[in-house]
Structure 1
Amino acid sequence: MKKNRLMAMAMAGAVVMSMAACGSNAAPEKAATEAAKETAAATEAAKDGASAETKAAADTSDVSNASNVAPEIPDGATVIKLGTTVNEQDSFQIAAVKFAELVQENTNGAYAIEIHPNGDLGGERDMLESMQMGTLDMGIVTSGPFVNFSQDMGVLDMPYLFANKEQAYAVFDGEVGRELLDTLEGSGLKGLAYAERGFRNLTNNVRPIEKAEDLKGLKIRVMENEVYQKAFEALGVNATPMAWADCLTALQQGTVDGEENPINVINSYKLWESQKYVTLDGHSYSTAIITMSLDKFNSLDADTQKVFLDAAQQAAEYERAWVADQEAGQLQAMKDNGMEIVENPDVDSFKEAVKSVYDAYPQYDEYVKKINEVIATVG
């Protein structure tokens, strides 16, 4: 529980610090976190026509007992369909359930969230395209596919952009994060808040990876994202982009040597069944965006829009705390199931190898500068 209290305090501090650094017109709200016994909430005004978008602090005191079962849909509720590509043990399910609980509670049952996990509504890019067309209401989607809908979003996938989670939270929960989400509106998407996928790490079934040169020649699955592909090519990898569902099959059949994902994913999908080695290189902090069809969002009245925005932010913070709470146990489970974990690789060798990726994407220089300015206020 002490760990939970510290995490809740750290996240709240990151949110407040990022808002102060950006000079936003934030008005305080009351929101007690029982675990931390701290009042650390803030409201950040964001541009959305005449209405204000707000962010409220989440109660993360019960994350150790988080539910992955969605509340029952009450009679007469307007049903909002939300899709994910992951299973019910994944952190996205935790975020989706918390979001559903908050929306239902704060609209007095007028709205209910119907959660569809396991890729039932398509892959991540499929879901985003469905939201564009208005045939899907919502989804929780990793950052990778968003570059196909807003070029600026590609900056989030630049390698070794963040050194720790506090830096990432300060950026995503502040002005820069909202500015990036707003770029999605040109593609008919509404970004509500940033949940967490986590720092991505390497796995493979060939050899332990201690330094960058150990990767050379390996065939590694990467997300369907040009930045990721170039980063791994710079490391001497045969980078193979493919959808996650296809990756699981490829790992089992041995047609790829490895992949890269956060600890939560490695654990929840029992990748020890096909992968022997894990390297905690943290090459990318992968966020996940709670996303809505812009048309669906605009169909809501202003009060309901605020409920959805607040619920998304609180669900995102809750999921982040859950990820942190679970991580040590997940690492131990990986070890118990025979995975060899390189906990302190030569990260500097990886950073040196991928410098060329920054040179290849000058279009991200302005956002990289903005992000680094926020990071400087956090340390």
Structure 2
Amino acid sequence: MTYLVKTVALAALTLAGSTLSANAEIEPVTLRLAHVVNEQDAYHAASVKFQELVAERSDGAITVEIFPNATLGDERTLLEGMQIGTVDMGLITNGPVSNFVEEMAVFELPFLFSSPEAAYGVLDGDIGQDLLDQLSEVNLKGLAYAERGFRNLTNSKRAVETPADLDGMRIRVMENPVYIDTFRELGADAIPMAWTEALTAMQQGTIDGQENPVNVVYSFKLNETQTNMSLTRHTYAPAIFVMGMPKWNQLSEETQEIVLQASRDAAQYERELNAKAEGEQLAALKDAGMNVVETPDLSAFTDAIAPVYEKYGAKFGDYLPRIQEALK
């Protein structure tokens, strides 16, 4: 065996030994991870991937219990629970998170991103990290950006090709002022409510529609109550792996690093899963009888929401101009 080979072999053994040593030092911990959607949703797939990764990388020392279907509360309730330590972590849509750090709502501005790749470049760079870091100011630890995806409009009334078609429709939106004002500018009656309440409201006909990515429409079988979908792709919605600082501060540095990297890898896994699945899901919805408007008049929608930028553009500090510069 040559000196170089011996050196490489010794280094490999040393690295393996140090990894085992680090893992051996990790105290067993159980993390309660919650989300508000069902087990067919991409959020759940990302949560399961995170569960698998931390178990593998900690040699089983880190156990993750997943609570889907809003069993621990809606997204605002989950975040409040994380702040006081009654919930450990969750995969939360960006809109509710922005109620705790207003600047996070910059991502909710309509027609900000033209493609997933454009969004990823911003989220995974300095701008995205700066905003994740801000969550510590409200006792939350931002870990990584997964995604809800590009949001589209569905309704039970009629095909929507222009903003005029939305006139008077009662549309559920997330409890977020940017979403509320966006749909009011489009002529809809924007109704903010938690997702679990929205599902019941659609079944009962007390609201006419909602807006969400294709994967949500598919996994929740919204075509059963929503006969029309317009591919407006009006907002790209991130989702965030987030942990309460009370729990984060209890973890060792080794455990924190495993959790952080597993969150990033699970988020990337979910993005890839969504990209592969969207076409198949859209085809299945059409086959089930859903009327899909694939080319709504996006220029008319973009013109209609100009007042939203005038109202909110300056509220996000320098984040909007930084994003616009990064997108050039």
Shorter-chain TM-score above 0.5: yes
Aligned match of 1:300:
251
Aligned match of 1:237:
188
Whether 1:142 aligns to 2:99 is no
Deviation of 1:372 after TM superposition, in Å, equals: 1.5
Aligned match of 2:14:
none
Over the matched positions of the two proteins, sequence identity in percent amounts to 50
Aligned match of 1:106:
57
CA distance in 2, matches of 1:172, 1:109: 31
CA distance in 2, matches of 1:303, 1:326: 34
Whether 1:336 aligns to 2:287 is yes
Deviation of 1:365 after TM superposition, in Å, equals: 5.5
Structure 1 SS opposite 2:114: coil
Match of 2:150 among 199, 223, 231: 199
Aligned match of 1:160:
111
Structure 2 SS opposite 1:203: strand
Instruction: Answer whether contact 2:144 2:260 (CA < 8 A) is retained.
Output: yes
**1:142/1:212 CA distance change after superposition, 3 Å:** same
Instruction: Answer whether contact 2:141 2:248 (CA < 8 A) is retained.
Output: yes
CA distance in 2, matches of 1:245, 1:295: 27
Structure 1 SS opposite 2:327: helix
Amino acid at match of 1:97: V
Deviation of 1:77 after TM superposition, in Å, equals: 3.8
Whether 1:348 aligns to 2:299 is yes
CA distance in 2, matches of 1:309, 1:330: 31
Structure 2 SS opposite 1:208: coil
Structure 1 SS opposite 2:153: strand
Structure 1 regions of 5+ residues with no counterpart? 1-75
Match of 2:273 among 311, 322, 330: 322
Whether 1:364 aligns to 2:316 is yes
Say how many residue pairs are matched: 301
Structure 1 SS opposite 2:71: coil
Amino acid at match of 1:164: S
Counterparts of 1:176-195 in structure 2 under 5 Å?
Answer: 176-195=127-146
CA distance in 2, matches of 1:267, 1:279: 14
CA distance in 1, matches of 2:199, 2:85: 30
Aligned match of 1:282:
233
Whether 1:374 aligns to 2:326 is yes
Amino acid at match of 1:298: N
CA distance in 1, matches of 2:235, 2:324: 15
Structure 2 SS opposite 1:121: coil
CA distance in 2, matches of 1:81, 1:245: 20
Deviation track 1:204-254 (CA, whole Å, cap 9, x = no partner) reads 111101112211111111111111000000011111111111111111111
CA distance in 2, matches of 1:268, 1:163: 24
Deviation of 1:98 after TM superposition, in Å, equals: 0.6
Ranges of 4+ aligned residues in structure 1 off by more than 4 Å: none
Aligned match of 1:53:
none
What is the root-mean-square deviation of aligned Cα atoms in Å?
A: 1.0
Amino acid at match of 2:29: T
Amino acid at match of 2:157: V
Instruction: Answer whether contact 2:102 2:316 (CA < 8 A) is retained.
Output: no
CA distance in 2, matches of 1:141, 1:264: 16
Instruction: Answer whether contact 2:103 2:317 (CA < 8 A) is retained.
Output: no
Amino acid at match of 1:179: D
Deviation track 1:321-375 (CA, whole Å, cap 9, x = no partner) reads 0011111110011101110100111111101000100111121262111111222
Structure 2 regions of 5+ residues with no counterpart? 1-26
Aligned match of 1:260:
211
Amino acid at match of 2:161: E
Structure 2 SS opposite 1:278: strand
Deviation of 1:153 after TM superposition, in Å, equals: 1.0
Aligned match of 1:52:
none
TM-score for both structures, normalised by structure 2: 0.90
Instruction: Answer whether contact 2:143 2:243 (CA < 8 A) is retained.
Output: yes
CA distance in 2, matches of 1:206, 1:296: 46
Deviation track 1:91-112 (CA, whole Å, cap 9, x = no partner) reads 0011101111111111111111
